[in-house]
Structure 1
Amino acid sequence: MTPNQPSFLVLTLPALAVVLSFVVLILFPALRLRSHRLLLSFSGAFLLGITLFELFPEVYRDFEMRQAGVFIALGILLQIVLEFFSRGAEHGHLHHKGEQSGISGILFLSLGIHAFLEGIPLVQNPDVVWGISIHKIPVALIFGSFLLGSGKTPTQSWVVVVIFALMTPLGAIFGNLTMLQNIYPYLLALVIGMILHVSTIILFESSKDHAVNLKRFGVIVLGMVLAYLL
């Protein structure tokens, strides 16, 4: 596989999604307390659709089928481990009410690893950048709300946000290194497993008490259709 040059969108859009979400939180503090269920549902559906329509065909084209399944399963397991430390922030739920400063480093590390790895397929699959970037908006809102309530100074919060915003573009550059092209299919399968876990959990958890909701169903359908048309 011949590496491609990272596009401007791949290097900027995921980072902008994080930074602008944090700016919105600062300008509109009430958003820190609001539920983002519809946004989560749309982002989860869009991300899942992009994975099914773009990433699955590639990994099964370049990979022996049984091996692909093994690494996709490993990706699911890796994401479960990461969520043990991130408290579920990747899918829009930070399951923690206690002392925030004590887990902020672990939370950042877990989210950073997730963000870095999900950038790996972006250069070879530039359309996926839209799904990753939309997914980052609710994650950034949750993580940003956590930071703003953790007692950190504005400068400290901005440093953390900027580093987090850069992780996915750095992952895209890493995944495009010539020396890694022989193992790229393995990395891609691993990322697919992570995205599958996150997107399906979003779809299950974004409904209150798992009740049928026409608005939620509508945004899920919209997310899938847009992912197909992209």
Structure 2
Amino acid sequence: MALWQYALLFTCVLFGGGLAQVMRGRTESAHWRRYLPLLLSFSGAYLLGIAAMEMMPTVFRNPQYHTGVWLLAGFFIQLLLEGLSQGIEHGHVHAHEHGNFRFALTVMVGLGLHAFLEGMPLGTAPEPGESLAAHTAMDAEHLLVGIILHKIPAAFALGLLLRYSGFSKAFTWVCLLVFASLSPLGAVFGEAISIDPVWRNRVLALVVGSFLHISTTILFEADGRKEHGITVRKFVVVIAGMLVAYFTAH
């Protein structure tokens, strides 16, 4: 990855988390419940779109890789991680009135493992001359966009969660800095290790499985409603996210 891509991956978290700090305590902060679901719906639709139209065809290109098992593993690993992270990956804010260090550590472990894992494929670039190298590089670019789109609302939710749970602004910023660092560190780790095409495909399949869980959860829950159905506004946003994914993947 280029240096500017690392910088973008890092600063998008600070932007989302910083926005939460600015809005907290102001009259406009009540509107986050109105606008955050729309951003989440767009990001969820985009993630699902690039996963289905670009990433899944790539990881399933060789039947000998047993990709389906790794994709399912990524789905269920994300299911377990959300038990720790409190669902922040898809914008949930479950504040604890008297949050303690153990609560914050649990959230950061779940969120951090997910962030590190999703960053790894960004650093596992194909070797020069490798088959499908150009297509894989394009996958990495769209994966970067997808990660950024869901990191901004995730960082926003993390910032609100920690502040509403009684943690100081300084502690909240430390957590945001750690969260911002983990996906770039995952990409650095992916570049540092010598990873063959089979393991590169498996790591990407894990991330695809994780994205399928996150995106479908977002699309089902982003309205925060208990009844079935979808609002017109959310439907338009979801279609827009799918169209952006389609035109960037083709």
Q: CA-atom RMSD, angstroms? A: 1.9
- The unaligned stretches of length 5 or more in structure 2 are 126-139
Paired position in structure 2 for 1:100:
99
| Count of residues in Structure 1 that have an aligned counterpart in Structure 2 | 224
Identical counterparts, % of pairs: 37
Out of 172, 193, 200, the residue aligned to residue 157 of structure 1 is: 172
Cα 1:177–1:53 change in 2 (3 A) is farther
Q: Which amino acid aligns with 1:228?
A: Y
Give the alignment partner of residue 169 of structure 1, picking from 184, 199, 204.
Answer: 184
TM-score by length of 1: 0.89
Per the TM alignment, residue 15 of structure 1 is displaced from its structure 2 partner at its CA by 1.5
Equivalent residue number for residue 109 of structure 1: 109
- Of 75-84 and 178-187, deviating more is 178-187
Q: Which amino acid aligns with 1:140?
A: A
Give me the TM-score of the superposition, normalised by structure 2. 0.83
Q: Deviations over 1:146-166 (max 9, x none)?
A: 122233333222121111101
Judging changes above 3 Å, is the alpha-carbon distance between structure 1 residues 98 and 44 closer, same or farther for their aligned structure 2 residues? same
1:18 and 1:116 map into 2 onto residues whose CA distance is: 14
Distance apart, 1:86 and its partner CA:
1.3
Q: Post-superposition, which runs of at least 4 consecutive aligned residues in structure 1 deviate over 6 A?
A: none
Q: Deviations over 1:15-36 (max 9, x none)?
A: 2111011221222224655312
SS at match of 1:180: coil
Asked which structure has the greater CA Rg, the reply is: 2
Residues in 2 aligned to 1:126 and 1:144: alpha-carbon distance in whole angstroms:
27
The answer to whether the 8 Å contact 2:84/2:110 transfers is yes
Output the CA distance in 1 between the equivalents of 2:229 and 2:62.
40
Shifted more, 18-27 versus 39-48: the winner is 18-27
- Picking from 24, 33, 54, the partner of 2:19 is 24
Between the aligned partners of 2:191 and 2:9, the Cα distance in structure 1 is 17
Say which is worse superposed, 192-201 or 210-219, in terms of deviation: 210-219
SS of 1:61's equivalent in the other structure is: coil
Where does residue 44 of structure 1 map in the other structure?
A: 44
DSSP 3-state at the match of 1:100: coil
Q: Could you say if the C-alpha distance between residues 53 and 10 of structure 1 is closer, same or farther in structure 2, counting changes exceeding 3 Å?
A: farther
